[in-house]
């Protein structure tokens, strides 16, 4: 069986540990009869209801086990179906006199720097609480121990359990926020250091923040529903729970505000990173353009000098062929003429290339 703990409480104290679900129902009825008899004997006919209830904690129950619990406590089929399928958004729904609550606890896994979201379902009736966990976290055993160590709080009945579970879930969000803050600080350093892999990390962290925000944001609706349940008619028990719940609401509001701030900050960081990448690309293009310009200038200089050297080489090559029919070979001024022609060609080309800025 997936039942982790099964107990019946009377006035905030653990009275019985039933060995099975059907025994839990029997023990609860016996507890209620005993309490009614004591109330008659003390003429306490106005004793507050709901102080005798059972709390069943389950971890990854099978579909058959869930249907067995549903049959024993009269749970609505739709709420049981949601629990079987899991992967529900946080919500609070009422089916007759039973409340069905879905919460998404979270924890930050530091070695791999990711957020893991769990899922907790609660069924709250007038005289019972059933908690169903689909993951190891959060450890509701600590919640039960806290309540058992505070009988005055546990005496408030099933709604004391949902308060304590909500308080645990919201408190566990604090390490997640610290982990996200640390990741964002590291990303800011990566962005300004020009790390090429930072864009992928920004996108992944943004997705995690969005998923975390989806787990936190619906809590406001749940708190609104609980406020409607507490404080009606001036009942002291409900008013006390209302005051306790207000502290949890304040913490959840701060979590939601920080999460929204993280999402906006990551959007701004992504924009800054895109701007810096574009600037670096522009600087690289400018550098390549300048290098290309400088290379072109060098090519022009080399080409100019090659043309200047080519002119006398061409003249010398022509007169160096020593053909008999070259008229200047027998001319007395042929040699000075050839040298003068070479010099004239060199000077002409040099002046031309200099005026064009090639030299």
What confidence score (pLDDT) does residue 47 get? 44
Give the separation between CA 92 and CA 196, rounded to whole angstroms.
Answer: 44
Half-sphere exposure of 9 (CA within 13 A, CB side): 31
Instruction: Return the higher-pLDDT residue of 151 and 310.
Output: 151
How would you label 298-326 residue by residue, b for 16+ Cβ within 10 Å and e otherwise?
eeeeeebeebbeebbeebeeebeeeeeee
Mean pLDDT over 312-320 rounds to 78
Three-state DSSP at 42 gives coil
Instruction: Tokens 């893991």: give the residue.
Output: 116
Q: Phi and psi dihedrals of 48, rounded to 5?
A: -65, 140
What's the pLDDT tens digit per position in 146-175?
Answer: 999 999 889 888 989 999 999 999 999 999
User: Structural domain boundaries of the chain?
Assistant: 1-147, 295-355
User: With bands split at pLDDT 50, 70 and 90, how would you rate the model's confidence at 325?
Assistant: low
What confidence score (pLDDT) does residue 280 get? 82
What confidence score (pLDDT) does residue 144 get? 92
What confidence score (pLDDT) does residue 236 get? 53
Question: What is the 8-class DSSP label of residue 333?
Answer: T
Q: Is the pLDDT of residue 124 over 90?
A: yes
Mean pLDDT over 212-218 rounds to 92
Closest of 108, 117, 249, 111 to residue 175, by C-alpha:
108
Let me know: does 120 contact 133? Beta carbons within 8 Å: yes
What's the pLDDT tens digit per position in 98-107?
Answer: 999 999 999 9
Three-state DSSP at 267 gives helix
User: With bands split at pLDDT 50, 70 and 90, how would you rate the model's confidence at 255?
Assistant: very high
Q: Is the pLDDT of residue 359 over 90?
A: no
Query: Which residues, including other chains, have CB under 8 Å from residue 334's CB and lie 6 or more apart?
Result: 319, 328
Let me know: does 176 contact 115? Beta carbons within 8 Å: yes
What confidence score (pLDDT) does residue 173 get? 94
The DSSP bridge pattern shows strands 3-10 and 13-16 to be: antiparallel
Alpha-carbon 102 to chain mean position:
20
What confidence score (pLDDT) does residue 78 get? 92
Give the separation between CA 19 and CA 181, rounded to whole angstroms.
Answer: 46
Let me know: does 157 contact 51? Beta carbons within 8 Å: yes
CB neighbours (10 Å) of residue 24? 25
Query: Which residues, including other chains, have CB under 8 Å from residue 11's CB and lie 6 or more apart?
Result: 51, 52, 151, 155
The packing angle between helices 158-171 and 236-319, to 10°, is: 20
Mean pLDDT over 193-208 rounds to 88
Instruction: Tokens 């507050």: give the residue.
Output: 48
User: With bands split at pLDDT 50, 70 and 90, how would you rate the model's confidence at 228?
Assistant: confident
What confidence score (pLDDT) does residue 50 get? 45
Let me know: does 237 contact 166? Beta carbons within 8 Å: no
User: With bands split at pLDDT 50, 70 and 90, how would you rate the model's confidence at 40?
Assistant: low
Please say whether the structural domain 295-355 has been given the CATH code 1.20.58: yes
Q: Is the pLDDT of residue 45 over 60?
A: no
Report CA dihedral (247, 248, 251, 257) to the nearest 10 degrees. Answer: -120
Q: Is the pLDDT of residue 233 over 50?
A: no
Let me know: does 123 contact 130? Beta carbons within 8 Å: yes
| Percent of the chain that is helix, strand, coil (3-state, to 5) | 65, 15, 20
What confidence score (pLDDT) does residue 57 get? 92
The architecture of the domain spanning 1-147 is: 2-Layer Sandwich (3.30)
Q: Is the pLDDT of residue 333 over 80?
A: no
What confidence score (pLDDT) does residue 241 get? 82
Diameter over CA atoms, the chain: 154
């Amino acid at each position: 069986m997936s039942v982790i703990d099964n107990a019946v409480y009377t006035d905030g104290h653990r009275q019985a540990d039933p060995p099975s679900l059907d025994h839990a129902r029997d023990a609860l009825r016996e507890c209620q009869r005993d309490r009614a008899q004591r109330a008659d004997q003390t003429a306490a006919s106005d004793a507050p209801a709901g102080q005798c209830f059972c709390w069943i904690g389950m971890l990854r129950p099978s579909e058959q086990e869930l249907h067995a619990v549903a049959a024993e406590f009269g749970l609505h089929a739709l709420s049981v179906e949601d629990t079987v399928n899991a992967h529900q958004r946080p919500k609070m729904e009422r089916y007759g006199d039973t409340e069905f609550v879905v919460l998404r606890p979270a924890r930050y896994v530091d070695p791999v720097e990711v957020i893991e979201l769990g899922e907790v379902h609660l069924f709250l009736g007038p005289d019972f609480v059933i908690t169903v966990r689909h993951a190891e976290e959060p450890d509701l055993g600590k919640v039960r121990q806290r309540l058992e160590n505070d009988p005055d709080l546990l005496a408030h009945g099933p709604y004391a359990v949902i308060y304590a579970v909500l308080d645990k879930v919201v408190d566990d969000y604090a390490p997640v926020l610290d982990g996200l803050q640390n990741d964002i600080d590291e990303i800011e350093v990566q962005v300004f250091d020009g790390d090429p892999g930072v864009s992928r990390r920004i996108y992944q962290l943004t997705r995690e923040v969005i998923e975390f925000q989806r787990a936190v944001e619906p809590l406001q609706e749940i708190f609104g529903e609980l406020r409607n349940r507490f404080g009606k008619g001036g009942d002291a028990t409900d008013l006390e729970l209302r005051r306790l719940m207000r502290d949890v609401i304040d913490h959840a509001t701060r979590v939601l505000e920080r999460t929204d701030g993280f999402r906006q900050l990551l959007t701004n960081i992504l924009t800054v990173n895109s701007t810096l990448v574009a600037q670096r690309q522009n600087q690289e293009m400018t550098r390549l353009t300048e290098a290309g310009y400088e290379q072109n200038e060098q090519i022009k200089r080399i080409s100019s000098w090659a043309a200047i050297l080519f002119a006398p080489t061409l003249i010398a090559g022509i007169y160096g062929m020593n053909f008999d029919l070259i008229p200047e070979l027998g001319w007395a001024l042929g040699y000075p003429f050839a040298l003068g022609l070479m010099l004239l060609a060199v000077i002409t080309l040099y002046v031309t290339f200099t005026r064009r800025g090639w030299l």
